[in-house]
Amino acid sequence: MEFEKITELIQAVSKSDLTNFYMEEGNLKISMKAGKKARVKGLQTAPVVVQGAENLTEQEEVLSQKSAPQGKTIKSPLVGTFYNAPSPGAKVFVQEGDTVKKGQVLGIIEAMKLMNEIEAEEDGVIEKILVSNETMVEYGQPLFVLGQE
């Protein structure tokens, strides 16, 4: 199976409501499992204060703030593991406050041992990095907030 077909398959499964997927074609075996949460559209709730809020991820903190950074949100194009550097111990691709150019690599998402570069879609400044290194990300999950220069 070609790389493009595998990528299309990953995206199709990610977009669907499937939680498990298995495929076997010759010597190739593909198994995917997603821990998806139910989605509720059009529901607005009041903020809830939770004890132990110090354990919130940075992404949850930013999304819960009323004055969240304004800018373009760069989202994950697929399900996988996010990496902020090309290899362990290497310099990170970007940090908050860095100026980036269109096409510049911001991070990598590994899916099925394939590395997919996440690139800036336009010039700007990294206002906020919403995920940590080696974090599992879902399709459409916000990764970065990109502001104007």
Instruction: For residue 108, tell me if it sits in a domain.
Output: yes
Q: What are phi and psi of 15, to 5 degrees?
A: -75, -20
Beta-carbon count within 10 A of 9 CB: 16
Q: What is the pLDDT of residue 84?
A: 94
Instruction: For residue 70, tell me if it sits in a domain.
Output: yes
What's the whole-number mean pLDDT along residues 119-127? 93
Instruction: For residue 118, tell me if it sits in a domain.
Output: yes
Q: What is the pLDDT of residue 146?
A: 92
What CATH number corresponds to the domain at position 108?
Answer: 2.40.50.100
What's the whole-number mean pLDDT along residues 13-22? 70
Q: What are phi and psi of 8, to 5 degrees?
A: -60, -40
Instruction: For residue 29, tell me if it sits in a domain.
Output: yes
How many Å apart are CA 147 and CA 68, to the nearest integer? 12
pLDDT at residue 48 is higher than 90: no
Instruction: For residue 44, tell me if it sits in a domain.
Output: no
Instruction: For residue 31, tell me if it sits in a domain.
Output: yes
CA-based nearest residue to 106, from 134, 116, 114: 116
Where in the sequence is the domain holding 112, given as residue range(s)?
3-37+64-147
Instruction: For residue 51, tell me if it sits in a domain.
Output: no
Whether the model clears a pTM of 0.85, i.e. scores above it, the answer is no
Instruction: For residue 57, tell me if it sits in a domain.
Output: no
**Token pair for 49:** 């204060």
> What does the pLDDT look like over 83-117, one tens digit per residue?
999 998 899 999 999 999 999 999 999 998 889 99
- Number of domains forming the structure of the chain: 1
